[in-house]
Amino acid sequence: MGSPSAARTRTDVPWFQRVLDNIPFLLLLGVGFPTILYTVWSVVELQHLPSFSEAPHGALHGVGLEGAAAERAAASAEQATAVTGETVTVSMRQMRFFPDTLEITAGTTVVWVNDDMIDHAVAYGSSDTPAEERLFESSGDFPQGESFAHTFETPGTHPIYCSTIGHEQAGMVMTVVVTEDAP
């Protein structure tokens, strides 16, 4: 039998050896966990992409693309009219505002609804617009199902953007044209 001092305990192992012993675990934690999260997020996001099917003569066509064109046409139709004092809803989804151009009369309230799985925010102008030139303060990020409203009293062309980091750069912008008379 060996003496008690001959047996090495875990505390006798130098710190760098303990780190080296844990490298497989650290790699799994540092690489595996983010990869799993990204994979799950990608699968969820892929549900929103158009589907593709086999077309005659072996060519591929986008089945879901007709739906996207119809959605854009419906969004354009939403722009048509708004009477003073009414409320108009703008949907925020797929890193866009629907509609992305809105013509309303002064006194109309615009309600932005987050219909996306990620947070969005509504802000006036652009990220480089000075605070004193902004018509209203940013809504701050809000999750799916939440909304932000603003009543436009000042006629003119008002730029709006999503102030969530990176969303403006991804093209999440819109224009609200406010007239004194019915559009």
- Can you give the pLDDT of all 183 residues of the chain as single tens digits? 555 555 555 567 787 777 777 777 766 667 667 777 777 766 666 555 444 444 344 333 333 444 444 454 444 444 444 444 589 999 999 999 999 999 999 999 999 999 999 999 999 998 888 888 888 888 999 999 999 999 999 999 999 999 999 999 999 999 999 998 765
**Residue carrying the six token digits 């932000």:** 148
Instruction: Specify the amino acid at residue 169.
Output: Q
**Residue carrying the six token digits 């912008």:** 173
Q: What is the DSSP letter of 9?
A: P
Q: How many Å apart are CA 34 and CA 40, to the nearest integer? A: 10
Q: How many Å apart are CA 151 and CA 88, to the nearest integer? A: 10
Where do runs of H (alpha helix) occur along 22-126? Answer: 23-27, 33-46, 63-78
Grouping H, G, I as helix, E, B as strand and the rest as coil, residue 159 is strand
Q: Do 137 and 160 contact (CB within 8 A), yes or no?
A: no
Q: Do 71 and 98 contact (CB within 8 A), yes or no?
A: yes
Cis ω for the linkage preceding 99 (within 30 of 0): yes
Sign of the dihedral through C-alpha 11, 14, 15, 17: negative
- Number of neighbours of residue 117 by Cβ within 10 angstroms: 13
Q: What is the DSSP letter of 26?
A: H
Q: Which helix (H) or strand (E) holds 71?
A: helix 63-78
